[in-house]
Amino acid sequence: MSYPPISVTALKTKINDKAYDSYYDYECPMDLYDIHQFTNGQPFHIYDELRTHSPVYFQSPPDWDIEPGSWMLIIIAGNDTTRNSISGAIKLLTEFPEQKSKLTNNLDLLPNFAQETIRMVSPVIHMRRTTTCETTIGNQKLGPGEKVIMWYGAANRDPSVFIKPHEFNIERDNASKHLAFGMGRHTCLGKPIALMQLKEVYRQILTRFPDIHMDGEWKVAPNNFVHAIQEMPVSFTPEK
């Protein structure tokens, strides 16, 4: 795809005719069909752009009354999750220098490092589901229509699954058993891309800036849905 340069100062997201300055300012439901972005002051329609550049996937307009959230997730879901995993990895490598040393000395550990990083960071905090029939979870009986909250951080640090769950171990045998990507029919569509991105970005970072480390306090957005890292100061020796 090719788009004109975006003027950052002019960039706004318009949701239901209301401009939002903050990504986290959710005062009304997002409707993908109503979103407009401004490139150099000229509005364009996200759906029309996608349909123009990806006609195979947009033969006809989807049923927005049924699936606006699904289309929104397909377009933006990888933003918060991947970037916060990348940032979270810096913090982990700083807190566990022996693991960083293992990784920098053996980049073949990158695939398992990516899985262990996602397990520890758990970029999505929770999802909610609704029971469709009577069932039992653990020792708790549930009837149809009840709300169930899934806490990913708790699952990914379950001591019955992971030995020493709060330790960052890039050689953990079952690191990939985390549930950060969901499972079964709910498995994240972007899972292969996210793992590839995390591996490759750290192959470049650790090769070019091997002494990079967190240098100060981070700032995490008040948010109960995603682990949203807003600021993280780092120090490193520039390439010569």
Q: What percent of the chain is modeled with pLDDT above 70?
A: 68
The three-state DSSP-derived secondary structure of the chain is CCCCCCCHHHCCEEECCEEECCCCCCCCCCCHHHCEEEECCEEEEHHHHHHHHCCCCCCCCCCCCCCHHHHHHHHHHHHHHHHHHHHHHHHHHHHCHHHHHHHHHCHHHHHHHHHHHHHHHCCECEEEEECCCCEEECCEEECCCCEEEEEHHHHHCCCCCCCCCCCCCCCCCCHHHCCCCCCHHHCCCCHHHHHHHHHHHHHHHHHHCCCCEECCCCEECCCCCECCEEECCEECCCCC
pLDDT band at 104 (very low <50, low <70, confident <90, very high): very high
Tens-digit pLDDT profile for residues 61-76: 444 444 556 666 666 6
**Ranges of each domain in the chain:** 1-66, 69-235
Tens-digit pLDDT profile for residues 117-175: 999 999 999 988 899 999 998 889 999 999 999 999 999 999 999 999 999 999 999 99
pLDDT at position 89 is: 95
CATH homologous superfamily of 69-235 = Cytochrome P450 (1.10.630.10)
Q: Over 60: is that where the pLDDT of 58 sits?
A: no
pLDDT band at 186 (very low <50, low <70, confident <90, very high): confident
